[in-house]
Amino acid sequence: MKLLEGKWALVTGSSRGIGQQIATGLAGRKCNLVVHGRKPGNMARTLELLKPFDVQVLGVSGELSDRQGIRSVIDGVRSGPGHVDILYNNAAIMSAWKPIWEVTPEEWLDIFQVNLLAMIALCNAFAPGMKRRGYGRIINLSSGIRDTPNLAPYGVSKSAVDKYTRDLAAELKGSNVLANYLDPGWMKTDMGGEDAMYPVEDVLPGALVPALLEDDGPSGQLFAAQDYRMLVG
Q: Is the model's pLDDT at 75 over the cut of 60?
A: yes
pLDDT digits (tens, 9 = 90+) for 152-186: 999 999 999 999 999 999 999 999 999 999 999 76
| Residue 126 and residue 83 in contact, taking contact as beta carbons nearer than 8 Å | yes
Q: What SS3 state is found at 198?
A: strand
Alpha-carbon distance of 30 to 232, in angstroms, equals 16
Residue 191: per-residue pLDDT: 62
Task: Give the pLDDT of residue 185.
Answer: 79
E strand segments, the chain: 8-11, 32-37, 57-61, 86-89, 136-141, 177-183, 187-188, 198-199, 222-224
- Rounded to two decimals, the pTM is 0.95
Across the strands, what pairs with 36? 60
Please name the helix (run of DSSP H) or strand (run of DSSP E) that holds residue 129, with its range, or none: helix 118-133
The per-residue pLDDT for range 22-69, each reduced to its tens digit, is 999 999 999 999 999 999 999 999 999 999 999 999 999 999 999 999
Any idea what DSSP says for residue 76? H
Does the pLDDT value for residue 187 go beyond 60?
no
The more confidently predicted of residues 114 and 191 is 114
Q: Which residues pair with 187 in a beta bridge?
A: 198
Beta-bridged to residue 181, according to DSSP, are: 140, 222
pLDDT of residue 200: 78
Query: Which one of the listed residues 88, 154, 164, 181 is annotated catalytic?
Result: 154
CB burial string 103-115: b at 16+ within 10 A, e below: beeeeeeebebbb
d(CA 1, CA 19): 21
Q: Is 175 left (phi over 0), alpha (psi -120 to 50) or beta?
A: alpha
| 232 confidence band (pLDDT: 50, 70, 90) | low
Q: Tell me the CA end-to-end span of the chain in Å, nearest whole number.
A: 8
Active site residue 181: no
Domain 8-228 fold: Rossmann fold (3.40.50)
Give the pLDDT score at 227: 86
